[in-house]
Amino acid sequence: MGRQQKYPVRLTDEEREELSKITRMGKQSARVMQRAQILLWSDAGKQDKEIVALLGCAPMTVSSTRERWVKEKRLEDLPRLGSKPMLDAKQESLLIALACSDAPEGRAEWTMQLLADKLVELKVVEQISDETVRRTLKKTSSSRGKKRSGASHR
């Protein structure tokens, strides 16, 4: 037999049934399904090396899955930290409406910088970069003043 595991998995009948359901149903992410299978095999007495060979995953995946389960009873990842969006939904809709409106006099169409400057001028935001404007319009599949896209009239 192998060496003693630092975080041995001991599942209740309910936990075993729930994890089995996760592996059978296929409605979870591949990561969650893999973690459920790791826990089931760990509970069945399989050693880490066997599980690694069966799943083709890294040894660290097996040990960290067992540790997370023993400490927190959790299969899912925690939400990732990140910066908040530069524009909220209302500000995005104002940007899209502006981009779909007629360009300023003397211009054929809006530039990203003109849109950014106009949002600041209208006090929609305190500051915004042309790159944020570009990404927002790309995300919403809007265009700068082309009549066939975005929220323009048809």
Looking at the domain assignment, is residue 67 inside a domain? yes
State residue 153's pLDDT score. Answer: 44
Looking at the domain assignment, is residue 61 inside a domain? yes
Q: Are residues 18 and 67 in the same domain?
A: yes
Query: What are all long-range contacts of 143-149, with beta carbons under 8 Å and residues at least 24 apart?
Result: 143/99, 143/100, 144/99, 144/103, 144/109, 144/110, 144/111, 144/112, 144/115, 145/99, 145/100, 145/101, 145/102, 145/103, 145/109, 145/110, 146/109
State residue 57's pLDDT score. Answer: 94
Looking at the domain assignment, is residue 152 inside a domain? no
State residue 144's pLDDT score. Answer: 56
Looking at the domain assignment, is residue 6 inside a domain? no
* Mean pLDDT, 10 residues at a time, the chain of 154 residues: 77 95 88 96 94 95 95 89 87 94 93 96 95 91 55 44
State residue 118's pLDDT score. Answer: 95
pTM score of the predicted model: 0.54
Looking at the domain assignment, is residue 130 inside a domain? yes
Which two structure tokens, joined as six digits, stand for 123?
A: 């006090």
Q: How many domains does the chain have?
A: 2
State residue 96's pLDDT score. Answer: 93
Q: Are residues 109 and 65 in the same domain?
A: no
State residue 147's pLDDT score. Answer: 52
**Structural domain harbouring 105:** 89-139
Q: What's the start-to-end Cα distance of the chain, in Å?
A: 73
